[in-house]
Structure 1
Amino acid sequence: MAKEILGNEQFHIKLKKGDVGRYVLLPGDPKRAKLISQYFDNPVEVSNNREYAIYNGYLDGELVTVCSTGIGGPSTAIAVEELANIGAHTFIRVGTCGGMDLDVEAGDLVIATGAIRMDGTSREYAPMEFPAVSNFEVCSSIIEGAKKLKLKHHVGVVQSKDSFYGQHSPETKPVYYELQNKWNAWLRLGCLASEMESSTLFTVASYRKVKAGALFLCINNQERQKQGLSNELFEDVDLVIKAGIEALKIQIKKDKCD
């Protein structure tokens, strides 16, 4: 299917080969896509359909793209599939998360080396034994970017889920026992944070032979709240946007030197 529609307009994003850059930033919120585009040189909106708000611009002379994905795995998979069909080869997720490890405070950045596959979409791409991991080069560029900007960050595994309220009010769900037992297991294993897209992104990227990484702004940490620790809501996404832009610049430079 992917090969058959390679040169045609993609069904959801309404773009064709040559309409996007090879490097793409992936926020969830369409409004955040517009914010990110303001960091590009000569930004221009190229498509806006459903949850997919797409802008092009330039970073250090390279054509780059930002595409919103909406919330969760299904729409993220569509975006990556269709963007890969028309020439994109490097993706960086720029999102938000809820902290899990007690060391992860609101306002910190979390950089995912891999993701726990609690989503449903990735199961239609790979058996559960297959790991959802970030591309080493891209992950390294994200870490370099965070260090260069002197931003507090954590590097490790995150949990990807499909149900926001399954995390935040599991006791109301018929399968509470399963949700809580698995959550406690992730905590014991040192999982840093919970979000909703990276396991799908990493799995689809592996299948499509493209590169992907992910970073998140921690907006709060329910585990810190349970322990009576400081946990003020932090929603200034400018921090994670700047880190994503810097990471993309670093990756572009690396690729040009190869």
Structure 2
Amino acid sequence: MTTAHNSAKNGDIAETVLLPGDPLRAKFIAENFLEDVTQFNNVRNMYGYTGTYNGKRVSVMGTGMGCPSIGIYSYELIHFYGVKNLIRIGSCGAFAPNLNLYDIVLGIGASTDSNFAQQYDLPGTYSATASYELLSKAKNIADENNINTVVGNILTSDVFYGDQPDSWKKWAKMGVLAAEMESYALYCNAARAGVNALTILTVSDSIVNQTETTPEEREKGFTNMMKVALGLA
């Protein structure tokens, strides 16, 4: 079965999929971490690959930026291709002063300024959370490999260039660790379908400390995050 956004056929995609926002990061992971790789998608240049890691079958596919984009790709992976474990691997901007470049954040929950959950017609505000099964496994893998991780709440924002540049401080006061743009939609889609999702983020810039990585470093330099995510396969 193919979809409007994915040319894969039934069986082409593993039950566990790593989801970087950048399709070139998906290509980099496939070429440098996986064996026996086949490409299953290049529609809209949103590259997807399946291979093996330590003998276990795993897929990796780009999602693009924002809730609408990851909402489409994750929905299709779940409902048309039978994916059971969706692991977002992305970058984030740190709100917490103790977070430095390349630190890893495990998103136990995602706050948001998006109205993505409006579609469910819920009588209140939905708290989008990670799969505890994946979260606990990821933390154990990181600890076993002496990879320092911080577990906490993240912000999924619809806005990258905001009109109120200090609005992040209000989220920081509530203990939100960092900002990104996709996890809330991913967690909602997974929860609604009864499958597992987790976001693993590497700090690419600090809003507090005014430091940042380069685009090439974000594409190729987040190896500790890859180790944790691939260990979940």
- Normalization by structure 2: what TM-score? 0.89
* Closer/same/farther in 2, CA of residues 98 and 73 from structure 1, 3 Å limit: same
Shift of 1:16: 3.0
Tell me which residue corresponds to 2:133.
137
Q: Deviations over 1:162-213 (max 9, x none)?
A: 11101xx525xxxxxxx72xx3331111110000011111111001111000
Shift of 1:145: 2.5
* Closer/same/farther in 2, CA of residues 33 and 204 from structure 1, 3 Å limit: same
Q: Which residue of 20, 23, 34 maps to 2:27?
A: 34
Shift of 1:236: 4.8
The aligned length equals 228
* Closer/same/farther in 2, CA of residues 101 and 51 from structure 1, 3 Å limit: farther
CA contact (8 A) 1:144 1:247 kept: no
* Closer/same/farther in 2, CA of residues 232 and 88 from structure 1, 3 Å limit: closer
Take 2:67 and 2:189, find their aligned partners in 1: how far apart are those partners?
10
Take 1:217 and 1:246, find their aligned partners in 2: how far apart are those partners?
11
Q: Which residue of 50, 55, 60 maps to 1:56?
A: 50
- Normalization by structure 1: what TM-score? 0.81
Q: Which residue of 8, 14, 24 maps to 2:7?
A: 14
Take 1:162 and 1:118, find their aligned partners in 2: how far apart are those partners?
6
Q: Deviations over 1:77-128 (max 9, x none)?
A: 1111111121111011000000001111112111100000222333334645
CA contact (8 A) 1:92 1:244 kept: no
Letter in 2 for 1:233: T
Q: Deviations over 1:146-167 (max 9, x none)?
A: 223322321100000011101x
Q: Say which SS state the counterpart of residue 224 (structure 1) adopts.
A: coil
Given the alignment of the two structures, is residue 108 of structure 1 paired with residue 103 of structure 2, yes or no?
yes
Please, which runs of 5 or more residues in structure 1 have no aligned partner?
Answer: 1-7, 172-178, 226-230, 253-258
Take 2:90 and 2:116, find their aligned partners in 1: how far apart are those partners?
18
Given the alignment of the two structures, is residue 91 of structure 1 paired with residue 86 of structure 2, yes or no?
yes
Letter in 1 for 2:140: E
* Closer/same/farther in 2, CA of residues 77 and 246 from structure 1, 3 Å limit: same
Take 1:94 and 1:67, find their aligned partners in 2: how far apart are those partners?
10
Q: Which residue of 114, 119, 125 maps to 1:124?
A: 119
Q: Which residue of 60, 67, 71 maps to 1:66?
A: 60
Identity, in percent, stands at 30
Take 2:45 and 2:69, find their aligned partners in 1: how far apart are those partners?
8
CA contact (8 A) 2:18 2:229 kept: no
Letter in 1 for 2:228: E
Tell me which residue corresponds to 1:200.
185
Which is further off, 57-66 or 201-210?
Answer: 57-66
CA contact (8 A) 1:30 1:69 kept: yes
Shift of 1:241: 4.3
Given the alignment of the two structures, is residue 150 of structure 1 paired with residue 173 of structure 2, yes or no?
no
Take 2:121 and 2:70, find their aligned partners in 1: how far apart are those partners?
16
Tell me which residue corresponds to 2:157.
161
Please, which runs of 5 or more residues in structure 2 have no aligned partner?
Answer: none
Larger Rg: 1
